[in-house]
Structure 1
Amino acid sequence: MNPVYEIIVGIVLVTGSIFALIASIGLLRLKDVYMRMHAGSKAGTLGSGLMLVALAVHAHQIDVITRAFAGVVFFLLTAPVAAHLLAKAAYEAGYRPCADTKIDEMGKGNE
């Protein structure tokens, strides 16, 4: 393998794993379910997507490259929808945003 490709794969893998680490720290440190969901869906999707892109750059087989890019597309299509539905279900179940949330758009009609 070309050394340039190895450097690119290494940089993309480290960047993806940093985003995955940030997502996991956000899940532990943020205050409410909505903030945690945001960290998990945004940074987690970016981190796993970057790691799949590194796999696609490293692999020289078309089937591995195709599956890696299909995985990236799958993450980009499903993570925002799942986070939105989970947030809406949590709000309807009674979980309210923490005090740091300044505007509660869903709660305006309930006042």
Structure 2
Amino acid sequence: MSDESLNQKCDLLLKEPEIRFAGFLDMMGNLVVGSFRKGLEPLKNETERKKMFVEAVLRIRTRQDFDENLGPVTYAAARRKNIVTFTFLVDNKVLFVSAEPNVDIDKTANKILNLCSV
């Protein structure tokens, strides 16, 4: 997928009121494309976000060790006090999404899957 196509998917996700951030990461944890919803104050600075992105990619790579027996992971989510984060493996990129803390994880994940045609 081209960066423009990935960027369009992020823009589409950011139109949803519960989505705070949408971005695609390469397999080294670098942000390829993505941003926060307009007018939103990030909870973490850029350095902390980079650490979070690297950790998300490492978790996805570790989970892949179990794909043969258990099947691939559709998505992973973490509910924290102030945010819910989602990760999805899309081709050779990781879609990283953060949402408001009160979302229904399964409904939001399915919405993301549908909007991004994952």
Instruction: Give the TM-score, by structure 2 length.
Output: 0.29
Return the index of the structure with the highest Cα Rg.
1
Instruction: Give the TM-score, by structure 1 length.
Output: 0.30
More strand by share: 2
More helix by share: 1
